[in-house]
Amino acid sequence: MSDTLSINSERLWTRLMDMARYGALPGGGNNRQALTDEDKAGREQFMAWCREIGCEVRLDAIGNIFARRAGSDNTLPPVITGSHLDTQPSGGKFDGIYGVLGGLEVLHTLHDQNVKTVHPLEVVVWTNEEGCRFDTAMMGSAVWSGAMSLDSAYALTDRDHLSVKSELERIDHLGEHSATAGAIHAALELHIEQGPVLEAEGETIGIVTGVQHMSRHRIVVFGQEAHAGPTPMELRKDPVMALARMLPPLYEIAERHAPDGRITFGYINAEPGSSNTVPGRLEITIDIRHPQAAQYEQMLEEYNKAVRDACDQLELDVQMSCFWEAPGITFDARCIEAVRSSARGHGYTTREMCSGAGHDSCNVHTVAPTSMIFIPCEGGLSHNEAENVLPEDAAAGANILLGAILELAGVAGEA
Amino acid sequence: MSDTLSINSERLWTRLMDMARYGALPGGGNNRQALTDEDKAGREQFMAWCREIGCEVRLDAIGNIFARRAGSDNTLPPVITGSHLDTQPSGGKFDGIYGVLGGLEVLHTLHDQNVKTVHPLEVVVWTNEEGCRFDTAMMGSAVWSGAMSLDSAYALTDRDHLSVKSELERIDHLGEHSATAGAIHAALELHIEQGPVLEAEGETIGIVTGVQHMSRHRIVVFGQEAHAGPTPMELRKDPVMALARMLPPLYEIAERHAPDGRITFGYINAEPGSSNTVPGRLEITIDIRHPQAAQYEQMLEEYNKAVRDACDQLELDVQMSCFWEAPGITFDARCIEAVRSSARGHGYTTREMCSGAGHDSCNVHTVAPTSMIFIPCEGGLSHNEAENVLPEDAAAGANILLGAILELAGVAGEA
């Protein structure tokens, strides 16, 4: 039965557009930062929709919302799905929201069709995923999974020195339930890709098998300021010469570890920055990612060697430091298989892929079997008012979610 | 006789140290910016020293000082020598000052030895060479040589909106003589190298044959901002990839045109400058120099090709513009030969070289046969409180100047 059920794509799209009225921006995007009046309005709209179809809605101590649809055996742990409703200051209509309303649409479809699952189902809204107003991304899921203490989350403040706790109280969303994960049967998160791969390859569904290993590094190369005119090339201590020697081998690292190896130079700055002075100091950042631990580790080694070789050859001092690292994640095989099987049933084109960005699922996966589903987004854009998806892709993703949930939760009355 | 005369090196050094008391800084350097009270004091000290040895001192309408020692035939055009007394805000004791006091020392030696030249001699102090208080470098020599109008020089203002003209009046150095070059027999400028070549090669005297051709260019490469995680390497429009492709061939241009070709990347900046975002825009400046016109032109062609090739291969848009260019200068053969011959007579080690920086001589050369003499400076440093020279090198340079002046001006009574 599960492979024939389909969600109501018009209702899903209408709700996406309805949610986008809270904190709407003139450019078509949204400013619905965590725990603002706009966020409160969006969250309450979501809760109202859930109650309309008979869900029991509860808030926990960090403001995470759980909308529960009973199963046939409510002593069993729930299958949960969800994402976040908060946005960046100039965010879009889909990042996070799509996962929440896609989950709601699944429950609504089951309600319409009068289908009961064996395990209860819960749609979750995680508080403050974006981390832009209160500077910790994925905050609600971090507290719930035990990665962050409730008190440290409460103590986070925005630019106006308002705390998470006082803002939760102000909007009346500080719940009485413990912000601690109980037993979870399985967790699924539906999300826009936030990258260009699905669109470029013409595929509808990304079966997300994990999250990349990633780290960010800062390199400072020290040279000696010198006049561009009288100083011969061979007497210079020019950090840009080191850059010329390290950039090609660094990009080759990504080529050697293609197609999944990624290397990004986001920040490059030479000082003092005068056009007729050889710089005395060059600072760059390097972001290195790969889904496979072994290849990722090898990339790090090769990166170290490429930078040291370039600076050694020129006898320039260099400082290298890693200022951020997140270990990769391999999602749960059973959850991934449920998504795969649901996609087969619906006949959508798929691609297995690793997430390049962090999601609430990174926290959830530490306490529950977890995986994710991606749909294409226009030009790979997100965190941008122009963020966009095709209505048919939005429907496809929710259909996959529906099938996977039914497979994981079981349908009451089926064998 | 000319090859046996030597200057008084102690007196020269004492005067350099005496001049450094006007606008002295705690770090050993000087702040004697043009037309300040400190500059006035330094200029008046110079004029007093000149009058002590019987020179006639005159000021022109832009404040250039000419101290004249009569020749045996005063209908002949003078041989002039000099430089500037103004400094950068944290400048040194030698840049400019050495050329002025070296010239004075030559006149003082001739006075002591009772030597009369055929042509009259003049030591010149050019007003506002540094261009830091009033934003036009080599201002006094530019007006005098006709490269800049007197009115535009008068109208220049400092940060406090004080004009060159009002400051000349305030310090009472606006002279009655026309700021226009008359007939000049020859012009010589003694200067610190402001580069590391003489020191590195262990040579005492730089015979300066000209000034490099030079230009400064701005390149903006346009890419597309993208998330460092989800965006595969082959789908990126990454301007840093273009940088990786253009830097090695650009440095190779300098190698191909070694030892005199120079290429400098003084400014490099990637935007938006976030460590996990592929930059959407990269801006760099490139300073290109070579003493020979043909090689310089070839470097420009090669530079254009290297940048275009890199961006074309990656299909990235690029804007290239030249924002400053100064044609090279070849100094006067007779003046150069006089310096060469004087150096041979004194037995100093020499090196023929091109100036990499601009000097008042660049203006003077447009109206008079001109050349320059360089001495080593410690570590090639200038525009820095730590600027330093060895007293024996200072003496050597002044001796070379003395010999060259005697050769160019002729000694009265000699055949």
Instruction: Name the residue in chain B with its Cα closest to that of A248.
Output: B244
Tell if the CB–CB gap between B230 and A194 is shorter than 8 Å: yes
Kindly report the nearest CA distance between residue B309 and chain A, in angstroms. 15
Q: Which pLDDT belongs to residue A219?
A: 98
Could you count the other beta carbons within 10 Å of the beta carbon of residue B94? 26
Residue A258: count of CB within 10 angstroms of its CB: 12
Q: Which residue has the higher pLDDT, A287 or A413?
A: A287
More confident residue, A352 or A413: A352
Helix (H) and strand (E) counts in chain B: 12, 16
Chain B residues inside the 8 Å CB shell of A259:
232-234
Q: Are the beta carbons of A247 and B251 separated by less than 8 Å? A: no
How are the residues of chain A apportioned to helix, strand and coil, as percentages rounded to the nearest 5?
Answer: 35, 25, 40
Contact B248 A250 (CB under 8 A): no
CB contact under 8 A, B269 and A273: yes
Which chain B positions have a beta carbon within 8 Å of A287's beta carbon?
A: 228, 275-276
Residues B166 and A163: their CA atoms lie apart, in Å, by 59
Parallel, antiparallel or unpaired: strands A213-222 and B329-330? unpaired
Closest residue, chain A, to B233 (C-alpha): A262
Question: Do residue B264 and residue A228 have CB atoms under 8 angstroms apart?
Answer: yes
Q: How many CB pairs under 8 A join A and B?
A: 204
Residues of A in contact with B267 (CB under 8 A): 270, 273-275
Contact present, B317 and B311 (Cβ < 8 Å): yes
Mean pLDDT of A218-225: 95
Among chain B residues, the shortest Cα distance to A277 is held by B266
Chain B residues with beta carbon closer than 8 angstroms to that of A212: 229
pLDDT band at B225 (very low <50, low <70, confident <90, very high): confident
Which residues from A are below 8 Å from B282, CB to CB?
A: 268
Q: Do A230 and B278 touch (CB under 8 A)?
A: no
Give A413 or A170, the one with higher predicted confidence. Answer: A170
Q: Which residues contact A8 (CB under 8 A, 6 or more apart)?
A: A105, A108, A109, A112
Evaluate if pTM is beyond 0.90: no
Q: Above 90 in pLDDT, residue B407?
A: yes
CB contact under 8 A, B258 and A233: yes
Q: Tell me what pLDDT residue B415 has.
A: 56
Collapsing DSSP to helix, strand or coil, B131 comes out as coil
Q: In this model, does residue B2 exceed pLDDT 50?
A: no
Residue B355 distance to chain A (closest CA, Å): 6
* Contact residues on chain B for A263, CB-CB shorter than 8 A: 233
Q: Which of B90, B219, B237, B267 to mutate to test the interface with A (most CBs of A within 10 A)?
A: B267
Average pLDDT over residues B255-263: 95
The answer to whether the CB atoms of A230 and B287 lie below 8 A apart is no
Q: Enumerate residues 6+ apart whose C-beta is below 8 A from A100.
A: A46, A82, A83, A84, A85, A123, A124, A125
> Which runs of E-coded beta strand occur in A195-238?
205-211, 213-222, 226-227
pLDDT on residue A1 = 42
Tokens of B292: 């020979």
- Nearest CB among B227, B263, B268 relative to A357 is that of B227
Mutation to test the A interface, candidates B233, B243, B378, most A Cβ within 10 Å:
B233
The Cα A99–Cα A93 span in angstroms is 11
Q: What is the per-residue DSSP string for A53-90?
A: TT-EEEEBTT--EEEEE--S-TTSPPEEEEE-----TT
Q: Do A251 and B265 touch (CB under 8 A)?
A: no
Note if the bond before A120 is cis, omega within 30 degrees.
no
Helix ranges (DSSP H) in A224-377: 239-256, 293-313, 333-346, 360-364
Residue to mutate among A234, A260, A276, with most B CBs inside 10 A, is A276
Beta strand pairing call for A186-192 and A370-375: parallel
The distance of B320 to chain A (nearest Cα, Å) reads 15
Comparing alpha-carbon positions, the chain A residue that sits nearest to B214 is: A229
Distance between alpha carbon B320 and the CA centroid of its chain, in Å? 28
CA A178 to chain B, closest CA, distance in angstroms equals 34
CB A407 within 8 A of CB A5: no
Q: Is the pLDDT of residue B414 over 80?
A: no
Tell me the backbone φ, ψ of residue B168, rounded to 5 degrees: -60, -40
pLDDT in tens, B157-173: 999 999 999 999 999 99
The CA distance from A278 to the nearest CA of chain B, in Å, is: 5
Does residue A2 register a pLDDT over 80?
no
Q: Encoding tokens for residue A357?
A: 């960005």
Q: What is the pLDDT of residue A415?
A: 57
Burial (0-12, 13-18, 19+ Cβ within 10 Å), B136: middle
**Best mutation target, A198, A224, A233, to test chain B (most B CBs within 10 A):** A233
Helix extents (H) in A125-284: 139-145, 150-155, 164-170, 197-201, 239-256
Over range A31-38, report the average pLDDT: 97
Alpha-carbon distance B383 to B120, whole Å? 33
What ipTM does this complex have? Answer: 0.81
Question: What is d(CA A237, CA A281) in angstroms, rounded to the nearest whole number?
Answer: 10
State mean pLDDT over A44-60: 98
Give the pLDDT band of residue A401 (cuts 50, 70, 90).
very high
Question: A379 to chain B: nearest residue by CA?
Answer: B226
What are A385's strand-pairing partners?
Answer: none
Would the CB atoms of A235 and B268 count as touching at under 8 Å?
no
In this complex, which of A216, A230, A267 lies closest to B273 when CB atoms are compared? A267
Contact assignment for B267 to A270 by CB distance below 8 Å:
yes
- The confidence score (pLDDT) of residue A90 equals 87
pLDDT at B129 over 70: yes
Angle at B359 between CA B353 and CA B362, to 5 degrees: 85
Contact criterion met (CB < 8 Å) for B227 and A194: yes
- Rounded to a whole number, what is the distance in Å from the CA of A171 to chain B's nearest CA? 33
Question: How far apart are the CA of A90 and the nearest CA of chain B, in angstroms?
Answer: 16
Helices (H) and strands (E) in chain A, counts: 12, 16
Judging contacts by C-beta atoms under 8 Å, the chain B residues touching residue A229 are: 195, 212, 214, 262, 289, 355-357
Q: What is the CB neighbour count within 10 angstroms for residue B33?
A: 21
- Give the pLDDT confidence score for residue A45 in this predicted structure: 98
Question: What tokens appear for A45 in the block?
Answer: 């709209």
Instruction: Tell me which chain A residue has its CA closest to the CA of residue B377.
Output: A230
Given A214, A241, A268, which is nearest B251 (Cβ)?
A: A241
Nearest to B230 among A259, A279, A357 (CB): A357
Q: Name the maximum alpha-carbon separation found in chain A.
A: 87
| Closest chain B C-alpha to A132 CA, distance in angstroms | 15
Cα gap B309→B153, rounded to integer Å = 43
Inter-chain residue contact A250 with B240, CB threshold 8 Å: no
Residues B364 and B129: their CA atoms lie apart, in Å, by 13
The mean per-residue pLDDT over the stretch A218-230 comes to 92
* CB-CB under 8 Å, A268 with B277: no
Q: Do B270 and A265 touch (CB under 8 A)?
A: yes
Render pLDDT for A150-201 as a digit per residue (tens, 0 to 9): 999 999 999 999 999 999 999 999 999 999 999 999 999 999 999 999 999 9
